[in-house]
Amino acid sequence: MSINAISMREARETRQIPEALDLVTFNAKGELLTADMATQPLESILPGNIDLTTLGELAPRNFEARTGDGVIRYFSVTPIYPGEAFALASWDPSQDFLSEGSPERTTLFFTIAMWLAGLMIALSALYFLAVRPLSALGKRMRRFASGRRVLQYDGRDTSSRELYTINRIFEQMARKILRDEAELENTLHERGVLLREVHHRVKNNLQLISSILNMELRKTDNPEVRHKITRLQSRLSGLASVYRGLYESASFASVRMDTLIEPLLRQLSVSLSGRTDDTRISFALDPIALTPDQAGQLALLSVEAFSNALDYHAANTAGEDYIQVSLRETDEATIVLEVENSISPEEEAASGGGRSLGAQLIDAFAMQLEGEVERDAAEGRYRLTVGFHPAAFEAAPEDQEIPGTQSLLAR
């Protein structure tokens, strides 16, 4: 079997094979059939450490190796006739065989250009069919989330039926959410107006009862009767103050105790000004918010404790005559109410008694607060301390009244 060298040269010219590429053919026995190269000797184009027989066994394969004279070249071996004849191409990587005008360069550039064109078409299709419609949908969602605005969808951003359906479903969902929110807002507004009206009417009714008691107070000269009516009025005032706080508050879920207790107790001290002209009254109330239930109990408890302090206060051995009221929250999340007043040595034992009506009411209110009561009478002062844990804030039922009001009025 042999290949004419002229045929090899004609093939090089016909296929426009560059001169930098050297070609040889050989058979399965490792015998060289033809060699078509420029001016290099044969050992300069063949791998130096692999014989032709082994190359035939490796075909087809591309590899890099050193030639017989030690130069690194690229090699590609492929069978011409399986198991019988093989062709070996060898070229120097330092020589550019992709010269201008060569078919290899033209083919390579055309392939790259077609690949780039296909990539641009794919990216354009991805942008117009997916990216731009999804970006428009995201913009509509952000507008709706930030300002509850529903942008009109005209369907021009996409030709995809699926994306068109998603946009339409989002638009319907957004409009339904707006309608539901509007209805909920109207319902809450109506509920708020109703609750304010209820609290306002309750406050007015309690004030009316207090006014009736005041009329009865002016008809009697009995000091004991006048004192009992005044104490009852103070309890009604405490209850009315809670409802006034709910009526004037922006939220029905909580009541600020500092703004509720201090005006109430100051008003009480004025109504009993006969024994408080020379008494130093001070308040130290932290801005603590409680639920309406606890606020009512604490307000009534404060009224009873302050009324007891007004009844029993006197100058002590040091000449001090004072009443101190404090409300604070400890590090253990406990609300502590303290009412302290000066007492004379003669009244020290009497102030420590715990079975008066006021003391019983204080114990009852503290029990409803699930708190603990401590009484301490020593060294010219009497101190009442009530500690309890605040309840979690939650909306109370509309028909729920402040606990203890019926028993208080019944007394």
Residues 213 and 260 in one domain: yes
- How far, in Å, CA of 172 to CA of 161, rounded? 17
In the prediction, which pLDDT does 406 show? 40
- Is the residue at 54 inside a domain? yes
Nearest of 284, 300, 295, 198 to residue 256 by alpha carbon = 295
Q: How far apart are CA 383 and CA 378, in angstroms?
A: 9
Which amino acid belongs to residue 386?
Answer: V
Q: Which residue, chain included where needed, has tokens 């699926």?
A: 162
Residues whose CB falls within 8 Å of the CB of residue 278, separated by 6 or more in sequence, listed in order: 321
The verdict on 224 and 329 lying in the same domain is: yes
In a domain, 98, yes or no: no
Domain assignment of residue 204, yes or no: yes
In the listed set 144, 160, 182, which residue is the last one of a domain according to the structure?
182
Of the residues 158, 182, 206, which one is the last residue of a structural domain? 182
The answer to whether residues 121 and 135 belong to one domain is yes
Model pLDDT for residues 349-382, shown as the tens digit of each residue: 555 555 677 788 889 989 999 999 999 888 788 9
Contact at 8 Å (CB) between 65 and 72?
yes
Residues 6 or more apart in contact with residue 12 via CB below 8 angstroms = 23, 36
Instruction: Report strand pairing: 61-66 vs 72-81.
Output: antiparallel
**In a domain? residue 311:** yes
Listed in sequence order, the residues at least 6 apart from 19 whose beta carbon sits closer than 8 Å to its beta carbon are 38, 97
For residue 121, pLDDT over 80 is answered with: yes
Residue type present at position 391 = A
Q: Is there a domain that residue 386 lies in? A: yes
pTM: 0.50
Nearest to 260 by CA among 287, 236, 232, 293: 287
List the one residue out of 212, 190, 143 whose CA is nearest residue 171.
143
Q: Is residue 72 part of a domain?
A: yes
Average of pLDDT values for 9-18? 55
Q: How many C-beta atoms lie closer than 10 Å to residue 106's C-beta?
A: 13
Q: 89-98 long-range CB contacts below 8 Å, 24 or more apart?
A: 89/21, 89/22, 89/23, 90/21, 90/22, 90/23, 90/24, 90/45, 90/46, 91/20, 91/21, 91/22, 92/20, 95/20, 96/20, 97/18, 97/19, 97/20, 97/21, 98/18
Do 176 and 295 have their domain in common?
Answer: no
Give the burial class of 146: count Cβ atoms within 10 A of its Cβ; 0-12 exposed, 13-18 middle, 19 or more buried: exposed
pLDDT at 337: 94
Q: What CATH number should be reported for the domain holding residue 49? A: 3.30.450.20
Residues 206 and 337 in one domain: yes
Residues 190 and 160 in one domain: no
170 with 268, same domain: the answer is no
Of 188-192, 326-330, 367-371, the one with minimum mean pLDDT is 188-192
In a domain, residue 96? The reply is no
Residues 88 and 24 sit within 8 Å (Cβ to Cβ)? yes
d(CA 319, CA 335): 31
Average pLDDT over residues 231-253: 72
Crossing angle between the packed helical segments 132-147 and 161-219, to the nearest 10 degrees: 10
Which of 157, 182, 207 delimits the end of a domain? Answer: 182
Encode pLDDT of 79-112 as tens digits: 888 888 888 888 777 765 555 555 556 666 677 7
Supply the DSSP string of 366-401, one letter for each residue. Answer: HHHTT-EEEEEEETTEEEEEEEEPPPPP-PPPTTPP
* 214 and 333 inside one domain: yes
Domain extent, residue 147, equals 103-182
Residues 31, 78 within the same domain: yes
Residue environment code for 44-73, b if the CB has 16+ CB neighbours within 10 A, otherwise e: bbbbeeeebeebbeebeeeeeeebeeeeeb
Average pLDDT of the residues in 240-251: 70
Of the candidates 135, 130, 131, which has an alpha carbon nearest to the alpha carbon of residue 151?
135
- Does 276 fall in a domain? yes
Query: Does residue 395 have a pLDDT over 70?
Result: no
Cβ pair 372, 388 in contact under 8 A = yes
Say whether both 379 and 237 belong to one domain. Answer: yes
Say which CATH number the domain at 224 has. Answer: 3.30.565.10
End-to-end CA distance of the chain: 131
- The span from the CA of 5 to the CA of 17, in Å, is 15
Average the pLDDT over 333-341 and give the result.
Answer: 92
Which residue in 56, 18, 46, 22 sits closest to 36, CA to CA? 22
The pLDDT of residue 171 is 86
Q: How many Å apart are CA 162 and CA 154, to the nearest integer?
A: 15
Residues 123, 192, single domain; the answer is no
What is the number of domains present in the chain?
Answer: 3
What mean pLDDT value characterizes the chain? 78
Listed in sequence order, the residues at least 6 apart from 16 whose beta carbon sits closer than 8 Å to its beta carbon are 102, 103
193 plus 316 within the same structural domain: yes
pLDDT at 389 over 90: yes
Helix-, strand-, coil-residue percentages of the chain, each rounded to 5: 50, 20, 30
